Amino acid sequence: MNRDGGERGFCGAGAEVLVPHYGPHFGEEPPISGTNGSGNVFFSPCNLRCVFCQNHQISHNAVGRPMTVDGLSDIFLELQDRQVHNINLVSPTPYIPRIAAAIRTAKAKGLKIPVVYNTNAYESSEALVLLDGLIDIYLPDFKYWHESAGRRLSKATRYPETAKSAITEMKRQVGDLHVDQGLARQGLLIRLLVLPGGLSGTRPALRWIKDTLGPQTYISLMSQYYPLYQAQRYPMVARPIRKEEYEEVIDFALDQGFQNIFGQDMESASLFIPDFDKEEPFDRLLKV
């Protein structure tokens, strides 16, 4: 596809990089957010169409301020000046070549803090090679183990195989997560959002991670699922997860020998629901 020639992908992204919001964010895993926050840069639109997306205001529509490579690099440097611990690229997949150029430009201008690639893992390993040496921390969300769930809930074909290939390439580039003085410096941290009724296939995904990447791999088991956007139209995801569903996944991960697990309180789900019509979409996180 030639975006420079006016073509748009399935997601709706064109040649212009769209940034609907950026700023310090305190809702990531502790070694990502730290005390000063993660410097989140949200991109629009997303290459998945999740029916339950909490960021649907920006992920399902091409919205935001058009950014040049220089403009994007200036955002990175501005966030560094605001003392965030890292630059956190959220849903960056459609813009990999321009993001790579912006990182190089920012580094030439003095960017020193780690760069986080925060993704749904639905991308080609060939595209990720363009980021080799530029990304310090990969933060993929392994969303589905079963292809049928990916097709039904996110309009993604071959999601599991694509994600496994992408995550393997991420591990090749940065290795296991390295945490120093409470902050992530480099490496891989895999997120798994627990869905109602085991739809995400978290157990087989954890087995694959253990067997392929090792039980030392850092994982984040998320209980924050809430039936937003169009979820009420799909009975299988029309309810929050139950406490016992989440606890069973935690127990399974421990039984598999995982050594580095991040979890969430069941009551925290509402804190992660943003409103991108506000100047500060995650204002509730700033108050806790």
Q: Whole-angstrom Cα distance, residue 243 to residue 267? A: 10
Question: Identity (one letter) of the amino acid at 1?
Answer: M
Q: Over the chain, what HEC string results? A: CCHHHCCCCCCCCCCCEEEEEEEEECCCCHHHHCCCCEEEEEEECCCCCCCCCCCHHHHCCCCCEEECHHHHHHHHHHHHHCCCCCEEEECCHHHHHHHHHHHHHHHHCCCCCCEEEEECCCCCHHHHHHHCCCCCEEEEECCCCCHHHHHHHHCCCCHHHHHHHHHHHHHHHHCECEEECCEEEEEEEEEEECCHHHCCCHHHHHHHHHHHCCCCCEEEEECCCCCCCCHHHCHHHCCCCCHHHHHHHHHHHHHCCCCEEECCCHHHHHHHCCCCCCCCCCHHHHHC
Distance of CA 227 to CAs 6, 50, 51, 52, 173, Å? 35, 11, 9, 6, 35
Q: How many residues does the chain have?
A: 288
Give me the pLDDT at residue 47, please: 96
| Residue 183: inside a domain | yes
| Residue 38: inside a domain | yes
If one counts every other C-beta atom within 10 angstroms of the C-beta of residue 275, the result is 11
| Residue 99: inside a domain | yes
Q: Whole-angstrom Cα distance, residue 46 to residue 129? A: 20
- Residue 235: is the preceding peptide bond cis (ω within 30°)? no
| Residue 9: inside a domain | no
Structural domains of the chain, count:
1
| Residue 59: inside a domain | yes
Give me the pLDDT at residue 277, please: 79
Give me the pLDDT at residue 288, please: 38
Mean per-residue pLDDT pooled into runs of 10, the chain (288 residues): 49 78 96 98 97 94 95 98 98 97 98 98 98 98 98 98 98 98 98 97 98 98 96 96 97 98 85 77 57
Is 74 exposed, middle or buried, given 0-12, 13-18 or 19+ CB atoms closer than 10 A? middle
State the pTM of this model.
0.93
Whole domain around residue 134: which residue ranges? 17-287
Give me the pLDDT at residue 287, please: 43
| Residue 246: inside a domain | yes
CATH number at residue 40: 3.20.20.70
| Residue 12: inside a domain | no
| Residue 11: inside a domain | no
Q: Residue 255 has which token pair? A: 């039984």
